[in-house]
Structure 1
Amino acid sequence: MAHAPQIKIPATYLRGGTSKGVFFRLQDLPERAQVPGAARDALLLRVIGSPDPYAKQIDGMGGATSSTSKTVIISQSTRPGHDVDYLFGQVSIDSPFVDWSGNCGNLSAAVGPFAISNGFIEASRIPRNGTVTVRIWQANIGKTIVSHVPITDGQVQETGDFELDGVTFPAAEVQLEFMDPAADEPDAGGGSMFPTGNVVDDLVVPGVGTLKATMINAGIPTIFINAEAIGYTGTELQRDINSDAKALAMFETIRTAGALRMGLIKDASEAKTRQHTPKVAFVARPASYAASSGKQVEAGDVDLLVRALSMGVLHHAMMGTAAVAIGTAASIPGTLVNLAAGGGEREAVRFGHPSGTLRVGAEAKRVDGEWVVTKAIMSRSARVLMEGWIRVPGDAF
């Protein structure tokens, strides 16, 4: 019996923020995987090690969590005023599909450094010491991200003293600006920051009840609910949620109801193949708690508490795109996020998440009576973990 040999594909394994992913240059992919479709999806599934009924991704590069089951494809941008196109694929762990419906805000921090190190930025733009501004077109959602990447001795600086809760070791700070983060694509929930037209709605959730909800499309479609309305305090850690099958089922029901209300899906059955979006998060007023690392977070350290679910489970820290949604919603009076933070107009919030705290800013203003957010701002870090070649069986895609 003949067996297909493995093939080698140039790739880089990077940490960006509190996520990890396998990065590819588009031109390095096998020809049939250079275009969207079944071959590309099958290749990325095999790279990550999915679908895996054991939910371990032992035979791939995935880490068996939503934060580590990720892939990125980078190409030279043909869009005026941009350097690279950034396409993100969230790989399901136990099902045979790749979700292309949203961005990864954490891995966004690694796109600029990858672009510089892999020849996408002209050498004349890279100083001996200083900062390179990389303009990124986020192809999944059609948005611009501006990345400010530190340079030392002509190379991307990766080490430093910037600390990010949820990441064990310090690294160099990468500042990110998510420009015009609200949705304006028809497929992104009706082309509005608030798809329902309201900053707070009564969301009817079958088997759960009617919940107050802020459904916002900024950074990533997100459904915010009050922690107390579902029996939580906002101080929960992963073990409190992820070991509770009944709770996870409740959150999925909320997510499905919100996705329908936001116009992201037309039928509840579609939620199963759209796991990456929307996100569900619950908010609460400040309270003291011990983070997953044992670090004590005091009520006075934060403006509010937020816990968010990704790919069906509570995230260990906070998704970068959800942080954009948090910062955006916090800047708009009357949203549940804004109210949990004390109400009023604000340009930034520091929120508590399971691993610690994070600060995110947003610039909001009224235009013709409607709230418009011009950009959301936050800092992350990124580091190359490994570079070389990915090997996959030649008949895997």
Structure 2
Amino acid sequence: MTFKPQIKIPATYMRGGTSKGVFFKLSDLPMAAQVAGDVRDALLLRIIGSPDPYGKQTDGMGGATSSTSKTVILDKSEQPGHDVDYLFGQVSIDKPFVDWSGNCGNLTAAVGAFAIENGLVSSDKVPQNGIATVKIWQKNISKTIIAKVPMHEGQVQETGDFILDGVAFPAAEVEVSFVAPVEPTEPLFPTGNVVDTLNVPDVGEFEVTMINAGIPTVFVNAADVQCHGAELQGEVNSVAEKLAMFETIRAYGALRMGLINRIEDAETRQHTPKIAFVSPPKQYVSSSGRVVEESDIDLNVRALSMGQLHHAMMGTAAVAIASAAAIEGTLVNQLIKKDDVGSVVFGHPSGTLKVGALATKLDDNWFIEHVTMSRSARVLMEGHVRVPQDD
């Protein structure tokens, strides 16, 4: 029996924020995978090494966590006034599907650099030295993101002294702004309320804030889900009953937010919404061993992604946190004991993160003008991925 040789596809493996993913130019993909559909999904699944019943993604580029099981497809933008179209695919580890329902805020930090180095940004917009402002059209959610990429002698500057908790080594700072993450015509709060009571059969009733900003997110108080609020990954991910509880709350939140029509549909929409639990500031030791003092932060937030507690914080969830913090009455806002809620520092398992949001009220509706945070990014490897061909 003979087997076909593997195919080679140009690709770049990049870190963006606290995530890693495989980046592609749309035109470099095989023709059949240049359009959305089963062929593209099957290709990306095989590249990442999914589905893997062992949960390791050993036979692919994935790292067996939600933060490292990601793909990005970029192309020159078809959106007026934008430089690059950014499409993100969250690849399931143990199931055969790619979730296209949301953005990855962390990998957004790497989009500008990839776009510049691969000729997707007009040369007249890229200075020899200084800051290149790259306007990104996020195709999953149809939103604008602006990345400010440092340049040095005509090349993207990747090295620097910016420290991002959750990343072991310093790098160059990339400022990312999420412009109008929710349009004025779209509901920031799907139910119209900043706080709702969510009834979850066989689990209980919970006060929640459900918000569509950055990524649909369900916030719940840590104490209501039997958490102290300063958990590290092992304290949650090792307890199957707790993970099942969070997934059930997330599923009913998705239903209440109108993201799914049947509770069963949550199984094939793992990327969104996110679920996060919040608590007042308290001292804890981060996963790196650093002591985070109560005075260092405005609140603690822990979020789950793809069924597991995240090791740091998803960039898109940070947008939701900043937005909820800036709006009076949300569960997030209620925990902040200072007057200026336009900028907050929250604690997460790997350390802290500062985010800022500008929120305004139009009539009786809240509108987020922009959310800004700093991340970093760098190329880890570039060349080709090799993929077995189907017989």
TM-score by length of 2: 0.99
Is the 1:165–1:358 contact (alpha carbons within 8 Å) kept by the matching residues of 2?
A: yes
Amino acid at match of 1:285: P
Structure 1: runs of 5 or more not aligned: 186-190
Is the 1:33–1:39 contact (alpha carbons within 8 Å) kept by the matching residues of 2?
A: yes
Is the 1:183–1:218 contact (alpha carbons within 8 Å) kept by the matching residues of 2?
A: no
Change (3 A) 1:319 1:170: same
Amino acid at match of 1:144: T
Are residues 1:263 and 2:258 paired? yes
Per-residue CA deviations over 1:235-290 (Å, capped at 9, x if unaligned) read 10000000000000000000001000000001011000000000000000000000
Task: Choose 237-246 or 202-211, whichever is displaced more.
Answer: 202-211
SS of the residue aligned with 1:387? strand
Structure 2: runs of 5 or more not aligned: none
Within 2, Cα distance between the matches of 1:336 and 1:270?
Answer: 27
Within 1, Cα distance between the matches of 2:246 and 2:110?
Answer: 30
Within 1, Cα distance between the matches of 2:390 and 2:311?
Answer: 35
1:124 Cα deviation after fit: 2.3
Per-residue CA deviations over 1:76-118 (Å, capped at 9, x if unaligned) read 1111010010000000000000000000000000000000000
Amino acid at match of 2:292: V
Q: How does 1:266-281 map to 2 (within 5 A)?
A: 266-281=261-276
Q: Which residue of 2 aligns with 1:188?
A: none
Change (3 A) 1:343 1:262: farther
Q: Which residue of 2 aligns with 1:339?
A: 334
Query: Which of residues 170, 187, 202 in structure 2 aligns to 1:207?
Result: 202
Within 1, Cα distance between the matches of 2:368 and 2:292?
Answer: 29
Are residues 1:155 and 2:155 paired? yes
Is the 2:76–2:121 contact (alpha carbons within 8 Å) kept by the matching residues of 1?
A: no
Within 2, Cα distance between the matches of 1:124 and 1:79?
Answer: 18
1:343 Cα deviation after fit: 6.9
Percent of counterpart pairs with the same letter? 66
SS of the residue aligned with 2:119? coil
Are residues 1:386 and 2:381 paired? yes
Within 1, Cα distance between the matches of 2:335 and 2:198?
Answer: 18
Within 2, Cα distance between the matches of 1:199 and 1:378?
Answer: 23
Query: Which of residues 372, 391, 394 in structure 1 aligns to 2:367?
Result: 372
Are residues 1:314 and 2:302 paired? no
Are residues 1:231 and 2:226 paired? yes
1:337 Cα deviation after fit: 0.5
Are residues 1:116 and 2:116 paired? yes
SS of the residue aligned with 1:67? helix
Query: Which of residues 220, 243, 248 in structure 1 aligns to 2:243?
Result: 248
SS of the residue aligned with 2:66? coil
Query: Which of residues 273, 287, 290 in structure 2 aligns to 1:292?
Result: 287
Across the aligned residues of Structure 1 and Structure 2, the Cα RMSD in angstroms comes to: 1.1
Amino acid at match of 1:6: Q
Within 2, Cα distance between the matches of 1:35 and 1:128?
Answer: 35
Is the 1:175–1:379 contact (alpha carbons within 8 Å) kept by the matching residues of 2?
A: yes
Q: How does 1:90-109 map to 2 (within 5 A)?
A: 90-109=90-109
Q: Which residue of 2 aligns with 1:361?
A: 356
Aligned residues: 391
Within 2, Cα distance between the matches of 1:83 and 1:390?
Answer: 26
Query: Which of residues 337, 343, 349 in structure 1 aligns to 2:344?
Result: 349
Q: How does 1:26-45 map to 2 (within 5 A)?
A: 26-45=26-45
Is the 2:182–2:213 contact (alpha carbons within 8 Å) kept by the matching residues of 1?
A: yes
Within 2, Cα distance between the matches of 1:236 and 1:182?
Answer: 30
Within 2, Cα distance between the matches of 1:153 and 1:343?
Answer: 43
Q: Which residue of 1 aligns with 2:216?
A: 221
1:342 Cα deviation after fit: 2.7
Amino acid at match of 2:136: I
Are residues 1:6 and 2:6 paired? yes
Within 2, Cα distance between the matches of 1:345 and 1:216?
Answer: 21
1:192 Cα deviation after fit: 0.9
Amino acid at match of 1:155: Q
Q: How does 1:168-183 map to 2 (within 5 A)?
A: 168-182=168-182
SS of the residue aligned with 2:249? helix
Q: Which residue of 1 aligns with 2:125?
A: 125
Within 2, Cα distance between the matches of 1:248 and 1:183?
Answer: 33
Within 2, Cα distance between the matches of 1:76 and 1:122?
Answer: 10
Change (3 A) 1:184 1:251: farther
Is the 2:184–2:367 contact (alpha carbons within 8 Å) kept by the matching residues of 1?
A: no
Amino acid at match of 1:395: D
Within 1, Cα distance between the matches of 2:183 and 2:284?
Answer: 34
SS of the residue aligned with 1:351? strand
Q: Which residue of 2 aligns with 1:87?
A: 87
1:301 Cα deviation after fit: 0.1
1:201 Cα deviation after fit: 0.2
Per-residue CA deviations over 1:138-186 (Å, capped at 9, x if unaligned) read 000000000000000110000000000000000000000001112679x
